[in-house]
Amino acid sequence: MKGVASPTQNNVIDRGSRHVSTPAGLDCQTAFQKIARNCAHLIQEQRQTAIEADPDAIHTMRIELTRLRAAVLFFSPMTEDDAWPEIEKELRWLNSGLGKARDHDVTVSYARRKRYRRWARSSRRAMLRAEQKANRGLSKKLASNRYERLMTAVNRWIANGPWLKNDLSVRFAPADEEIDQRLRDWRKGILRQGRHLRDLHRKPLHCLRIHCKRYRYLVATLQDLGVSIAKQDLRFAKTAKSVHGMLGDLRDLKRLRRAGHSSPPGYLKSKRRLLQRAEKLLQRRP
């Protein structure tokens, strides 16, 4: 959307350093462990800078946490075990702090734009206080023993979790074959969910945005591993990225409206345009 591109969606991480040279014949277990270990490493790598309230570090941590959780879900026929639900619960605790800090960063960034500066004048101080409070809360979480225990548990689970006792035929299945079917299932789910996007209420719209985000992140991550991705999935990953961005813009505008206690300039027109464009993209044949 012209003039209202969301920092949440347009802040692209340079993923060149993430590329991993992978031999042919990669199996599902190896693919998952490579993805999960890299996510955990990058989360830890950004921790100290995020404690210092650096917006880019917070955003990177949030992306990698989403990528990790998406990978576990994507490989769920293999990764399901009794230990993961408790780890997932703790990851939601961490994600809540990252999400809150990131959301307030984006809201303040919007309020500084020329288009919204005058409209946000009376609310800017409250927005800044809310941002600072969210950053303090996140810093406290990241510096806690609970965070340390969580990341230790995550790394231990990736390397030696109960899921490694699951069916060998699933764990050692060729990654290319399993991934092709899983991406097809995810793609069909997104298309079915977004068929009448403009009629969706807040919760299903939020779920659609999350599903698009997971899809685009997984495709990019699998490409980094050297996994063969079907052309149809590569094309749809671009669609998912665009829809994710548009729905993210819409979410940011709604949050800005709540923070300012009134609709920002051009709100209804922007909302209508974003929903129309996103629905149109999902109605195309992938």
pLDDT, tens digit, for every residue of 229-274? 999 999 999 999 999 999 999 999 999 999 999 999 999 999 999 9
Any residues with CB less than 8 A from the CB of 158 and at least 6 apart, and which?
33, 36, 37, 40
The residues pairing with 163 across neighbouring beta strands, listed in sequence order, are none
174: helix, strand or coil: strand
> Count of CB atoms within 10 A of residue 235's CB?
14
| Residue recorded with tokens 């209508």 | 272
pLDDT band at residue 167, thresholds of 50, 70 and 90? confident
Any residues with CB less than 8 A from the CB of 31 and at least 6 apart, and which?
22, 75, 175, 179, 222, 225, 227
Q: Are 237 and 216 contacting, i.e. CB atoms less than 8 angstroms apart?
A: yes
Compute the distance between CA of residue 167 and CA of residue 200 in angstroms, rounded to an integer: 39
pLDDT of residue 19: 38
Q: What percent of the chain has pLDDT over 90?
A: 80
27: helix, strand or coil: strand
> Count of CB atoms within 10 A of residue 63's CB?
22
Question: Is residue 168 predicted with pLDDT exceeding 90?
Answer: no
> Count of CB atoms within 10 A of residue 177's CB?
11
pLDDT band at residue 169, thresholds of 50, 70 and 90? confident
**92-96, 123-127, 166-170: least confident range:** 166-170
Question: Is residue 191 predicted with pLDDT exceeding 90?
Answer: yes
Compute the distance between CA of residue 245 and CA of residue 53 in angstroms, rounded to an integer: 24
Pull the structure tokens for residue 200: 């969706």
Q: What is the pLDDT of residues 58-117, one digit of tens each?
A: 999 999 999 999 999 999 989 999 999 999 999 999 999 999 999 999 999 999 999 999
Q: How far is CA 193 from the centre of its chain?
A: 18
pLDDT of residue 18: 43
Q: Are 40 and 69 contacting, i.e. CB atoms less than 8 angstroms apart?
A: no
Q: What pTM value is reported for the model? A: 0.88
Compute the distance between CA of residue 125 and CA of residue 201 in angstroms, rounded to an integer: 31
In whole numbers, what is the pLDDT of the chain averaged over residues? Answer: 90
